[in-house]
Homo-oligomer: A and B are copies of this chain.
Amino acid sequence: MLARKNHYNVAVVGATGAVGREMVEVLEERKFPAGDLRLFASQRSAGESMAFRGEDLPVQLFTKEVFRGIDIALFSAGAEISREYAPIAVQAGAVVIDNSSAFRMIPEVPLVVPEVNRHALRHHQGIIANPNCSTIQMVVVLKPLHDQFRIKRVVVTTFQSVSGTGKEAMDELLEETEALLSFQEVSPKVYPVQIAFNCLPHIDDFLQNGYSKEEMKLVNETQKIMEDPTIRVTATTVRVPVYVGHSESVNIETEKKLSANGARSILSTAPGVQLYDDPQRKIYPTPLEVAGKDEVYVGRIREDESIPNGLNLWIVADNLRKGAALNAVQIAEELIKG
């Protein structure tokens, strides 16, 4: 996939964002064999510095010229930046792992969750797309069930944390909460209405069909990653006042009967999955507990008695890690395995 070397020069574009910072941390934690690590940001953040392996690395303004000598470029600076700069990085010889939605649904671009479809990495043209956070955690859990029992339909409702929007949204939740506790007015800037002590059924823009883009990502990306356009998905995505960690209430209908115990048995050994399911003993995942963890947690597994072959699951993951930075670094790790 990538020519074998001892070290790879890595660029992080959007290094000072919520996901960018996590990318730098994950690269260090997982001892990714980075030679040079170059950090880039826009005008606003260039000039800062960030710690990496005990060094302070400068965050530089990124331009079209910065990709020379880079082996792997991790992009997390929004779709517009990706659309403009990813092709330039590829032309300069880098493989781009892009966290934005810019290229995800282009047929030639692999959309990869390593536990699910690492083989799709074999055929790329320089750009690999990192899926949307809410999709990643869902497919990690659904794929092993689909392989054995064939999932026909998914009804998913999400509880998404503000870090999915970015650092400024995390600040807004904090500022609003502080204001409310001291009886001051709040004036939302990032979200259209107050997020503190509230739930907003609104993530990303709305489309003509009434769904939000976030909801359609769950539909389209799931089919692409699971490589099965016959899986029917319908989604409702909701922002909740949680800092880190997305939760999902997932109802599935399978072709063959799958019991709750059968699902537990499969998921207990599934890659990247942590089965956490014993509600009588108060064991079920919550975003607060799962924040900072690498695995996708699943609990509250119940047979859905409203249809012959149905199951309800509660799936929680750290949206900045497995939902973004970790998955991107895992893709990089696959690439350098060659």
B301 close to A210 (CB less than 8 A): yes
- Does A45 sit at the interface, judged by CB under 8 A? no
Residue of B with least CB distance to A209: B302
Residue of B with least CB distance to A194: B288
Q: List residues 87-133 of chain A with CB under 8 A from any CB of chain B.
A: none
A282 close to B242 (CB less than 8 A): no
B251 close to A155 (CB less than 8 A): yes
Q: CB-CB < 8 A to A282: which residues of B?
A: 192-193, 202
B-facing mask of A232-266, CB < 8 A → 1, else 0?
11101010111100010101000000001000000
B210 close to A234 (CB less than 8 A): no
Q: CB-CB < 8 A to A154: which residues of B?
A: 306
Q: List residues 270-292 of chain A with CB under 8 A from any CB of chain B.
A: 279-280, 282, 284-289
Number of copies: 2
Kindly identify which residue among B202, B234, B251 contacts A305, using a CB–CB cutoff of 8 Å. B234
A279 close to B249 (CB less than 8 A): no
Whole-angstrom distance from the CB of A135 to the nearest CB of chain B? Answer: 15
Q: CB-CB < 8 A to A286: which residues of B?
A: 193, 198-201
- Does A3 sit at the interface, judged by CB under 8 A? no
- Does A75 sit at the interface, judged by CB under 8 A? no
- Does A8 sit at the interface, judged by CB under 8 A? no
- Does A40 sit at the interface, judged by CB under 8 A? no
- Does A32 sit at the interface, judged by CB under 8 A? no
Whole-angstrom distance from the CB of A72 to the nearest CB of chain B? Answer: 34
Kindly identify which residue among B178, B240, B299 contacts A181, using a CB–CB cutoff of 8 Å. B178
Give bound CA distance, A95 to B44, whole Å.
68
Whole-angstrom distance from the CB of A313 to the nearest CB of chain B? Answer: 9
B192 close to A181 (CB less than 8 A): no
B306 close to A234 (CB less than 8 A): yes
B-facing mask of A138-175, CB < 8 A → 1, else 0?
00000000000000011101010000000000000110
B-facing mask of A197-220, CB < 8 A → 1, else 0?
111111000100111100000010
Give bound CA distance, A112 to B249, whole Å.
29
Kindly identify which residue among B173, B209, B306 contacts A155, using a CB–CB cutoff of 8 Å. B306
Q: CB-CB < 8 A to A306: which residues of B?
A: 153-155, 232-234
A206 close to B280 (CB less than 8 A): yes
Whole-angstrom distance from the CB of A241 to the nearest CB of chain B? Answer: 5
B177 close to A288 (CB less than 8 A): no
Whole-angstrom distance from the CB of A231 to the nearest CB of chain B? Answer: 9
- Does A327 sit at the interface, judged by CB under 8 A? no
Q: List 28 A-B contacts (CB under 8 A).
A: A173-B197, A174-B181, A177-B177, A181-B181, A193-B288, A193-B289, A197-B242, A197-B243, A197-B288, A198-B288, A199-B240, A199-B242, A199-B247, A200-B284, A201-B284, A201-B299, A201-B314, A209-B305, A210-B279, A210-B300, A211-B302, A219-B305, A232-B305, A233-B306, A236-B312, A238-B247, A240-B240, A240-B241
Q: Which A residues form the contact surface with B (CB < 8 A)?
A: 153-155, 157, 159, 173-174, 177-178, 181, 192-194, 197-202, 206, 209-212, 219, 232-234, 236, 238, 240-243, 247, 249, 251, 260, 279-280, 282, 284-289, 299-307, 310, 312, 314
Q: Which 5 A-B pairs have the closest CB atoms?
A: A232-B306, A210-B302, A157-B249, A157-B157, A198-B288
